[in-house]
Chains A and B, each alone.
Chain A
Amino acid sequence: MVFLNSIDIQNIKNKIEQYADNSFLKQYLDKPFVAEDKILFLKTILEHAEVDEEKKETYILATMLMQMALDTHDLVSISRSSATNNHHNKKKQLNILVGDLFSGLFYELLANIKDVQVINILAGSVKEVNEHKMIIYHNEINSINHLLDELKQIESLLIKRVSEFVGVKQLDSIMENWFLMKRLVHEKNLYSKKQQSFIVSILSQHDTEHHVIRMIENMIPRIAYKLESYINELPTNQFEGIKTSLINELKKLSLEREIILEEG
Chain B
Amino acid sequence: MKLSSTYKFLTDDLNKIELELLETIQAEHPVLRAASTQLLKAGGKRIRPVFVLLSAKLGEYNFEQIKHVAVALELMHMASLVHDDVIDDANIRRGKHTVNAKWDNRVAMYTGDYIFARSLEILAKIDNPKAHQQLSNTIVELCLGEIEQLKDQYNVDQNLRTYLRRIKRKTALLIASSCRLGAIVSNLEPKYEKALFRYGYYLGMSYQIIDDILDFTASEKELGKPAGSDLKQGNITLPVLYQLSDPNFKEHLEHAFQRANIDNENLEAIIKIIKESPSIKQAYQLSENYLQKAEKELSIFPVNQATVALKDIAKYIGSRTF
Chain A CB within 8 A of B89 CB: yes
Q: How many angstroms from the CA of A80 to the CA of B91 in the assembled complex? A: 11
**A73→B113 contact, CB < 8 A:** yes
Per-residue interface assignment for chain B, residues 223 to 254, with 1 indicating a CB less than 8 Å from any chain A CB and 0 otherwise: 00000000000000000000000000000000
Instruction: Name the residue on B nearest A121 (C-beta).
Output: B124
Of B105, B120, B139, B144, the residue contacting A120 (CB under 8 A) is B120
Interface of A is mostly: helix
**B120→A123 contact, CB < 8 A:** yes
Of B28, B80, B89, B106, the residue contacting A131 (CB under 8 A) is B28
Per-residue interface assignment for chain A, residues 125 to 166, with 1 indicating a CB less than 8 Å from any chain B CB and 0 otherwise: 011001101110110000000000000000000000000000
Per-residue interface assignment for chain A, residues 15 to 51, with 1 indicating a CB less than 8 Å from any chain B CB and 0 otherwise: 0000000101100000000000000000000000000
Tell me which of A109-117, A173-181, A206-214, A237-245 binds B: A109-117
Minimum C-beta distance from A167 to chain B (A): 20
Per-residue interface assignment for chain A, residues 52 to 86, with 1 indicating a CB less than 8 Å from any chain B CB and 0 otherwise: 00000000000000000110011011111101001
Count of residues in A whose CB is under 8 Å from the partner chain: 49
Q: How many angstroms from the CA of A99 to the CA of B146 in the assembled complex? A: 12
Chain A CB within 8 A of B140 CB: yes
**B140→A77 contact, CB < 8 A:** no
Chain A CB within 8 A of B286 CB: no
Tell me which of B58-66, B130-138, B275-283, B303-311 binds A: B130-138
B114 surroundings in chain A (CB, below 8 A): 126-127, 130-131
Instruction: Name the residue on B nearest A113 (C-beta).
Output: B129
Chain B CB within 8 A of A216 CB: no
Instruction: Name the residue on A nearest B101 (C-beta).
Output: A80
Chain B CB within 8 A of A101 CB: yes
Of B27, B86, B133, B143, the residue contacting A101 (CB under 8 A) is B143
**A108→B140 contact, CB < 8 A:** yes
Chain B CB within 8 A of A220 CB: no
Chain A CB within 8 A of B32 CB: yes
**B146→A137 contact, CB < 8 A:** no
Q: A97-B87, A97-B147, A108-B139 are in contact. Are A134 and B124 (CB under 8 A)?
A: no
Tell me which of A2-10, A88-96, A188-196 binds B: A88-96
Q: How many angstroms from the CA of A81 to the CA of B100 in the assembled complex? A: 12
Interface footprint category on B: 35 or more
Chain B CB within 8 A of A119 CB: yes
A126 surroundings in chain B (CB, below 8 A): 113-114, 116-117
Q: A79-B105, A130-B114 are in contact. Are A93 and B132 (CB under 8 A)?
A: no
**B260→A86 contact, CB < 8 A:** yes
Minimum C-beta distance from B215 to chain A (A): 20
Q: A104-B143, A111-B133, A116-B132 are in contact. Are A138 and B260 (CB under 8 A)?
A: no
Q: A76-B105, A101-B143, A134-B29 are in contact. Are A107 and B260 (CB under 8 A)?
A: no
Q: A24-B151, A96-B87, A134-B32 are in contact. Are A108 and B121 (CB under 8 A)?
A: no
Q: How many angstroms from the CA of A78 to the CA of B103 in the assembled complex? A: 10
Minimum C-beta distance from A141 to chain B (A): 13
Chain B CB within 8 A of A172 CB: no
- Tell me which of A97, A101, A114, A137 has the highest count of chain B C-beta atoms within 10 A of its own C-beta: A97
Q: How many angstroms from the CA of A77 to the CA of B100 in the assembled complex? A: 11
Q: How many angstroms from the CA of A73 to the CA of B79 in the assembled complex? A: 13
**B109→A124 contact, CB < 8 A:** no
Chain A CB within 8 A of B273 CB: no
Minimum C-beta distance from B31 to chain A (A): 6
A112 surroundings in chain B (CB, below 8 A): 133, 136
Q: How many angstroms from the CA of A25 to the CA of B147 in the assembled complex? A: 9
Instruction: Name the residue on B nearest A22 (C-beta).
Output: B147
Of B86, B107, B111, B124, the residue contacting A123 (CB under 8 A) is B124
**A119→B31 contact, CB < 8 A:** no
Q: How many angstroms from the CA of A116 to the CA of B116 in the assembled complex? A: 15
**B120→A119 contact, CB < 8 A:** yes
Chain A CB within 8 A of B261 CB: yes
**Can you offer 29 A-B residue contacts whose CB atoms are under 8 A?**
A25-B147, A76-B86, A76-B105, A81-B89, A83-B261, A94-B150, A96-B83, A96-B86, A97-B87, A97-B143, A97-B150, A101-B143, A101-B144, A107-B136, A110-B132, A111-B137, A114-B129, A119-B124, A123-B117, A123-B118, A123-B120, A123-B121, A126-B113, A126-B114, A127-B121, A134-B32, A135-B29, A137-B107, A137-B110
| 7 shortest interchain CB distances as A-B pairs | A120-B124, A123-B120, A111-B132, A114-B129, A104-B139, A108-B136, A126-B117
4 more A-B residue pairs beyond the given contacts A76-B86, A127-B114, with a C-beta to C-beta distance below 8 A: A80-B89, A108-B133, A116-B132, A131-B114
A-binding residues in B (CB < 8 A): 27-29, 31-32, 80, 83, 86-87, 89, 100, 104-107, 109-114, 116-118, 120-121, 124, 126-127, 129, 132-133, 135-137, 139-140, 142-144, 146-147, 150-151, 260-261
